[in-house]
Amino acid sequence: MPSHTRIVVRLPDHLVAFVDEQVRAGEESRAAVLTRAVISLQHQQSIERGAEILRTDGDADEWEDVPYA
């Protein structure tokens, strides 16, 4: 089981309202909403780093025959 660390986060009221709307709409908790947001940011940055590697070092032609999932 992964370890967890408690953190304290200050957010503007409008973001807290958004998070609370997500909880009312079915998200498990505020922590779950924020965890999903951080994971999404982590994935986005990983994709951007990969794209930058391809732009600078990669051979785009080698990806032409790769089927999309």
Q: Per residue in 18-69, pLDDT tens?
A: 999 999 999 999 999 999 999 999 999 998 888 888 888 766 666 666 566 4
Q: Determine the pLDDT at residue 64.
A: 64
Q: Determine the pLDDT at residue 51.
A: 83
Select from 26, 28, 27, 35 the least CA-distant residue to 7: 35
More confident: 16 or 62: 16
